[in-house]
Amino acid sequence: MTKPYRILGIQQIAIGGPDKAALRKLWVDVLGLQVTGNFVSERENVDEDICAIGQGPHKVEVDLMQPLDPDKKPAVHATPLNHVGLWVDDLPKAVEWMSANGVRFAPGGIRKGAAGFDICFIHPKSNDEFPIGGEGVLIELVQAPAEVIAALG
């Protein structure tokens, strides 16, 4: 089956917990990841530290997330390994093709993500209309910038 896009590699993993300070103790203090930014969004119910492993196009983002309100959705802390992000060379074409082939996407469509790249999410569960989902895993598709496409494509 020919596809009008390619998945290039891991862009990020996102880890959620009730208190990101506990996550930082391991990921930053012990494992030595660098904190490269912070993202707070009422809409996404998240306060996250953006960390990094590696450099350049081989850099993998590790997001350490806690909810702004633990009683609201999305519950970024409810699943410790919250989601995996994958670089894709042509996000609009990927979404169009996947939707036409039965992949269920989470609400919100393509939008700007925490790191500034266009993103969208494959829903962790399928339904009758869209029989393909993440089988329990939330998957973020991330538009790769030119240097990542050149390095990994």
With residue 7 as reference, give the H or E element that holds it.
strand 7-16
**Residue 72 counted as domain residue:** yes
Amino acid at 93: K
Which residue in 12, 16, 11, 33 sits closest to 81, CA to CA?
16
Question: What percent of the chain clears pLDDT 90, i.e. is strictly above it?
Answer: 84
**Residue 143 counted as domain residue:** yes
Give the domain CATH number at 117: 3.10.180.10
Could you report how far apart the first and last alpha carbons of the chain are, in Å?
19
**Residue 79 counted as domain residue:** yes
Three-class DSSP category at 75: coil
Distance, in Å, from the CA atom of 110 to the CA atom of 106, rounded to the nearest integer, reads 10
What's the structural domain count of the chain? 1
**Residue 32 counted as domain residue:** yes
Question: What percent of the chain clears pLDDT 70, i.e. is strictly above it?
Answer: 100
**Residue 2 counted as domain residue:** no
**Residue 1 counted as domain residue:** no
State the CB neighbour count (10 A cutoff) for residue 125.
13
R_g of the chain, CA atoms, integer Å: 16
For position 1, what pLDDT does the model report? 75
With residue 14 as reference, give the H or E element that holds it.
strand 7-16
For position 67, what pLDDT does the model report? 97
**Is 103's pLDDT higher than 80?**
yes
Read off the DSSP letter of residue 152.
H
Distance, in Å, from the CA atom of 39 to the CA atom of 48, rounded to the nearest integer, reads 5
70 confidence band (pLDDT: 50, 70, 90): very high
For position 79, what pLDDT does the model report? 85
91 confidence band (pLDDT: 50, 70, 90): very high
pTM score of the predicted model: 0.85
**Is 31's pLDDT higher than 90?**
no
**Residue 14 counted as domain residue:** yes
Task: List the beta bridge partners of residue 143.
Answer: 88
For position 135, what pLDDT does the model report? 83
The overall average pLDDT reported for the chain is: 94
> Which domain does 99 fall in, by range?
7-152
**Residue 69 counted as domain residue:** yes
Q: Choose the weakest-confidence range: 28-32, 48-52, 109-113.
A: 28-32
